[in-house]
Amino acid sequence: MSKPFIHDQFLLQSETSEWLYHDYAKDLPIIDYHCHLSPKEIADNELFESITDIWLSGDHYKWRAMRAFGVDEAYITGNASKEEKFMKWAEVVPKTLGNPLYHWTHLELSRYFGIDELLSPDTAKDIWQETNRLLQTHAFRPKSIIKRSNVEAICTTDAPVDTLSHHREIEKDTQFDTKVLPTLRPDTLLQYDMDSFYENLRAIEIYYDQEVSDEKTMKVLLRKMVNFFHESGCRLADFGMQRLNFEPVHTSQFDQIMVKIKKQIPLSFVEKTQYQTAVIIEFAHLFHEYDWVMQLHIGAIRDNNTRMYHQAGKDSGFDSIDDFLIAKPLNQLLDAIDQTDQLPQTIIYNLNPNHNEVIATTIGNFQTGNRIGKVQFGSGWWFNDQKRGMERQINDLAHFSYLQTFVGMLTDSRSFLSYTRHEYFRRILANIVGEWVEEGLVPNDKQMLGQLMTDICYQNAKNYFAF
């Protein structure tokens, strides 16, 4: 019998990489400190009806692939049946060789369903039936999948007006040991160019019973927001921004900007940047006070296809990498936050890999305050969340900063089956370090290299976030 595609030595190209992965990384718990899982689905803990629901629903990676191979939108976000959508995906998978979707698909089939057959039109019917059969068992409820995946902590992504009631409901379940904590994502307060900005601002004001008219009242609103999330267990915040711009602003200028915002008078580019800069800095100082971690996701240009935006909605697979200058504004922003010694622990994720070296060198400017790896170059994100992207990020971090302080991988996913991405990352990391040994770049010291693997894959995150 031939060896299955997903096997024990998958991606491991040397003897050193094999023992690094199997002896030191494979069985470590997962700290998934950034994802988009639904806390409601975890709290409800209901069975999934079909493999389409848990595998294809909301997965814009797969949707993009299906569109690229000419699949009609009815089988992607449209009204085709769940079985028809799965069968169309099965037609596409064999054509995705070289894309991470091919690896992820078969890792998930193998690890969760015990299926080592390659997905194709020939095997699709049997795989459809077997996965759906298994999905009706207790082992495939969300909480069971999380436990099976050895997940110690999950940080979801939550809007300022989320009630966080599902997090509190999950916490009451004494049979479920995984921490599920909220993460504040206050983008709606910053996205001035969005059509819904004024509506979002008003909703936030009502939710926190705090009208904003100037810098002083904005600070009160932000403190109320952070305090509410903190009391619900939140210890992280996350900003998603297409481009990072920086423009300093004095109190009197900010007050004038707020007057214009409340009157819905359009702001100039400089005023918009001043508003966003001031709000981020104030947030960052609060995060430092509350001992939170601040995350910056920079560089996604979203919803580029207007026609499909109106048909399929936002975040449906029409996003791409933006290109812009980041070095100066990033250093300026971190410096402005740090001038009062109030820079929180910070993780910076870039979508454009051309910014890797900029990020890796910038973080070295702000490693102060007796914290190991206080400012982090985050793991390969989105379009970089694949073998080459991870290899580039790991090597650039190692060469321009210090790999030993890295807090490692996250899923950034909406799927309960995506924890295999941690296995994928750990195998790639082990293979890189194994290559260094083979090339004579690092000593073949089992204790030293084993510690490196353990730190990056688990211990650094456990210490950094201190959940």
d(CA 52, CA 29): 28
pLDDT for 194: 85
Assess whether the region 15-45+145-465 and the region 47-140 belong to the same CATH fold. no
Place of tokens 């601040």: 294
pLDDT for 227: 98
| Burial of residue 257 (number of CB atoms within 10 Å: 0-12, 13-18, 19+) | buried
Question: CA 237, 371, 236 angle in degrees (round to 5)?
Answer: 10
From the CB of residue 127, how many other CB atoms can be counted at a distance below 10 Å? 19
Where along the chain do its domains lie? 15-45+145-465, 47-140
Q: How far is CA 245 from CA 20, 39, 281, 385, 390, in A?
A: 41, 32, 13, 25, 26
Give which of 164, 220, 149 is closest to 411, Cα–Cα. Answer: 149
pLDDT for 1: 57
Mean pLDDT for each 10-residue chunk of the chain (467 residues)?
A: 89 98 98 97 97 94 96 96 98 97 97 98 98 98 98 98 97 97 97 91 98 97 98 97 95 96 95 97 98 97 92 89 96 98 98 97 94 96 94 98 97 95 98 98 97 98 93
Q: Does domain 15-45+145-465 have CATH number 3.20.20.140?
A: yes
Q: State the amino acid at position 419 in one-letter form.
A: Y
CB 344 within 8 A of CB 287: yes
CB 465 within 8 A of CB 32: no
CATH class, range 47-140: mainly alpha
pLDDT for 3: 86
Helical spans, DSSP H, in 32-150: 39-44, 51-55, 60-68, 82-92, 100-113, 124-135, 142-148
